[in-house]
Amino acid sequence: MKKFVAEDSFWELFPEASIGIVAVDGILPTDQVSEEAAKKAARLLDRANLKASDWLTSNTISENEVVAVWRDAYRRFKTKKGARCSVENLLKRVLKDNPVGHINPSVDLSNAISLKYALPIGAENIDALEGTFRLAVTEGGDEYLPIGEDESDPTLPGELAYIDDAGAVCRCWNWRDGQRTEVTDQTPHCVFIMENLQPERAGDLRAAIDELAQQLEELLGATVQNKGIVTRDNPEFVLEA
């Protein structure tokens, strides 16, 4: 049984955080997704690009509340220079009138949900995870090969990261994924993770995981194995039986 655990070192930093998780299997390869489904995923992304503007009340990206909370969060643990929450990168494109473009139906869906709800979303290949999948403050030295790079870039002491028994999975909490657990348009067995730092937005997180699960089933043929929300009182989540 594979599972996810948010460790005590994480909750000591962010006691009020919540993590939404959707574990699925059977996502269709891009070349098997119907033209109609692919077009619907693209339309959802187009609408989300427009909806995202509602979250952007300032022309300075860091002054928008949904970004400011993450800027503050990243000051609480060791990070690589320039590391930013993934949702900031998406919202920055919207702010600059450079909408997030279409990639493939799976990525389009996750980006659409991220933009619509202004919540970061990551995805990992469940079959590539080794042992227990964890979110923890690391001692440093966790093996990690960034997507698109050829040289190892291990975690730093005091860095918050997603890790497993083989090394780091995503650096600086939700900044950058590694090659080993990368999701491609041919990956059927995935876990989608989204994080919320604002207790008053608990309803947004629940709505986001429900909508993502529904769209993955309806458009990409996925079977939802499990979905739920991890909190300090409920820090574990079963990825597969």
| CA separation for the pair 18, 49 (Å, rounded) | 24
| Neighbour-count burial of 113, counting CB atoms closer than 10 A to its CB (0-12 exposed, 13-18 middle, 19+ buried) | buried
The pLDDT assigned to 4 comes to: 99
Number of domains in the chain: 1
Residue 37: CB atoms within 10 Å: 18
The pLDDT assigned to 241 comes to: 60
Q: Shortest CA distance to 204 belongs to which of 76, 29, 97, 65?
A: 65
The pLDDT assigned to 240 comes to: 81
| CA separation for the pair 90, 121 (Å, rounded) | 11
Straight-line distance from the first to the last Cα atom of the chain, in angstroms, rounded to the nearest whole number: 5
Q: Shortest CA distance to 113 belongs to which of 54, 49, 188, 165?
A: 49
| CA separation for the pair 27, 20 (Å, rounded) | 19
| CA separation for the pair 179, 44 (Å, rounded) | 27
- β-pairing, 133-137 with 190-196? unpaired
Structural domain of 210: 2-240
| CA separation for the pair 201, 214 (Å, rounded) | 20
The pLDDT assigned to 48 comes to: 98
The pLDDT assigned to 78 comes to: 98
DSSP tag of 188: -
The pLDDT assigned to 1 comes to: 84
| CATH number, domain containing residue 100 | 3.50.40.10
Residues β-bridged to residue 6: 135
Q: What HEC string does 26-52 produce?
A: CCCCHHHCCHHHHHHHHHHHHHHHHHH
Per-residue pLDDT of the chain (241 residues; tens, 9 = 90+): 899 999 999 999 999 999 999 999 999 999 999 999 999 999 999 999 999 999 999 999 999 999 999 999 999 999 999 999 999 999 999 999 999 999 999 999 999 999 999 999 999 999 999 999 999 999 999 999 999 999 999 999 999 999 999 999 999 999 999 999 999 999 999 999 999 999 999 999 999 999 999 999 999 999 999 999 999 999 999 998 6
Reduced to 3 states, what is the DSSP secondary structure of residue 144?
coil
The pLDDT assigned to 227 comes to: 97
